Structure 1
Amino acid sequence: MDGQRFEVWASGAAYERYMGRWSRAVAKEFVAWLDRPDGLRWLDVGCGTGVLSAVVGARCRPRVVLGVDRSEAFVGTAEAGALSPAVFLVGDAMALPVRDAAWDVAVSGLALNFLPDPAGAVAEMARAVRPGGAVAAYVWDYAEGMDLLRLFWDTAVARDPSAAPLDEGRRFPLCRPEPLRALWADAGLTGVSVRPVSVPTVFTGFPDLWDPFLSGQGPAPGYVAALPPDHREELRTALAAAALPRATNGSLRLSARAWAVRGCAP
């Protein structure tokens, strides 16, 4: 199976319920780790629905935040919720529409592994920042640290082995510490460091966990949307029967880990 054909990024609201709510929690930890001063110019590459840009705007008193994403729908969602000084535009991460050395910080949240040329995107981010400026990103630890997707794909592959190549843990070997460190070093960035960022992902009940998979937004929901209705119901039943950590009030408490990486332009 070709994983890319299951990737749909057309509804900001659907993505927010599926993954954006957890990305926001990681973004807060990520921005705190960067510890940048106020008044800087921030570039958010693969900005999606504007989650990371919003956290930067709330916490860092930036001079300006520019978010760039290839999805017109996501940019529209970001613009609808944007507060000054954040602005957004549709653009290509491999050919950023910005001048050389014009930004103080270039960041990317949960986007690098979906790009056709991650190395090219990091090189573009490095081009865009001034000497000494920061280039940083975070991606989900799909292989081991993202409980929701690990549970989903283990269940899906157990009943449909042909789904194994779609598992993000297999598809995205980039999303581990050493490949990220190498990607930053190969871009000529200095002082490279990588750290885990873990956040709780608490679902009010099984429908709160399952229903976002029906949105079609992202690889796993795209796979669900492509299933025949009876197979989809079989997967839902199998997932509901999995050994989920349920609280007495019926809530499900999982966790999500991302890997964050940063470096400086020489």
Structure 2
Amino acid sequence: MWGLGTAYEAYVGRWSRRVAEVFVSWLDVPPDRAWLDAGSGTGALTSAIVAAARPVSVTGVDPSVPFLTAARAAGPALLCAGDAAALPLASGSFHAVVSGLALNFVPRPEAAVREFARVAAPGGVTAAYVWDYRNGMAMMREFWTAAADLDPAAAALDESRRFAFCREDVLAGWWASAGFRDVSTRRIEIPTVFTGFDDFWQPFLGGQGPAPAYVASLPAERRDALRELLRDRLPAAADGSIAMTAAAWAVRGTA
């Protein structure tokens, strides 16, 4: 699922970059600090750190080598392959440990949060954000509603069911259990405006993520039926643009 960086960027990477900018500003980490981006993917959060936080260094860890290759364009970061729940890094090494849109794809997210605590320096900030799949990701809500109407079995694949733990109370609980203090959360909402239906639909054909993977599994006639149902349902403006919003839950704490 995670092998084509350009396809991921077209799907949700472009929206993650906007969330990352707000997220980094919210953290307000002083300059000249060492950062870790755990689950760095194609570099959306890494780019925001490099652009706005004036870090002394940024290390990105991700299990997908193709995504790490794509992330090299994000700026001067040390990139390595690894598991967020078993980081190949020394304890107490980072002043800021962050993760963007990755925790729900880690088989043991609570273990990953404990790893964040291990590698964070005392007094350092540790934070993450995940999509609000239940109430805040309009593009995915529209997709899975249409998919389930055509194929009831698709409902079980919906991220709002699979990742029901992507909520502020669960995130705050994980941070508290890992020993962080001053734990707080916030919701980050951004506009997601598609220039037209093709701008909305084409990224679902890239295979990067649960919804695109579902589309890739469909025979041509069922894929076409889903496309046309979405075309009929989406709220297009007179110029063809489709205005939606996307929201993420963010959590932070102090090591």
One of 27, 30, 48 as aligned partner of 1:34: 27
Matched, 1:147 2:138: yes
- Counterpart of 1:5 in structure 2 is none
Structure 1 moving runs of 4+ over 3 Å: none
Of 222, 227, 237, which aligns to 1:247?
Answer: 237
Match among 93, 105, 108 for residue 114 of structure 1: 105
Once the two structures are TM-superposed, the CA of residue 21 in structure 1 deviates from its matched residue by: 0.3
Q: Which residue of 2 aligns with 1:257?
A: 247
- Distance (whole Å) between structure 1 residues aligned to residue 10 and residue 254 of structure 2: 33
5 Å matches for 1:1-266? 8-79=1-72, 81-84=73-76, 86-242=77-233, 244-265=234-255
Q: How far is 1:248 from its partner? A: 2.0
The SS at the match of 2:153 is: helix
RMSD value over aligned CA atoms? 0.7
- SS of residue in 2 equivalent to 1:123: helix
SS state at 2:225 partner: helix
Q: Distance in 2 between matches of 1:82 and 1:245?
A: 34
* 1:83 Cα deviation after fit: 2.1
In structure 2, C-alpha distance between the alignment counterparts of 1:22 and 1:105, rounded to whole Å: 23
Looking at structure 2, the residues matched to 82 and 63 of structure 1 have their Cα atoms a distance apart, in angstroms, of: 15
The 2-side partners of 1:150 and 1:110 are apart by 17
Instruction: Give the secondary-structure state (helix, strand or coil) at the position aligned to 1:241.
Output: helix
Contact 2:44 2:74 in 1 (8 A): no
Percentage of matched positions with identical amino acids: 53
Q: List alignment gaps of at least 5 residues for structure 1.
A: 1-7
Matches of 2:70 and 2:75, distance apart in 1:
12
CA distance in 2, matches of 1:9, 1:171: 18
- How far, CA to CA, are the matches of 2:75 and 2:39 in structure 1? 18
CA deviation digits over 1:132-171, x for unaligned, max 9?
1111000000111100000000110111000111000000
Q: Any idea what SS the aligned residue of 2:227 has? A: helix
Per the alignment, in what secondary structure is the counterpart of residue 94 of structure 1? coil
Structure-1 separation of matches of 2:74 and 2:183: 31
How does the TM-score come out when normalised to structure 2? 0.99
Q: Number of aligned residue pairs: give it.
A: 255
Q: Which amino acid aligns with 1:83?
A: G
Deviations, residues 160-187 of structure 1 (Å, cap 9, x unaligned): 0001110000001111111111111111
CA contact (8 A) 1:136 1:263 kept: yes
User: Structure 2 regions of 5+ residues with no counterpart?
Assistant: none
Looking at structure 1, the residues matched to 146 and 50 of structure 2 have their Cα atoms a distance apart, in angstroms, of 39
Whole-angstrom distance in 2 between the partners of 1:151 and 1:82:
31
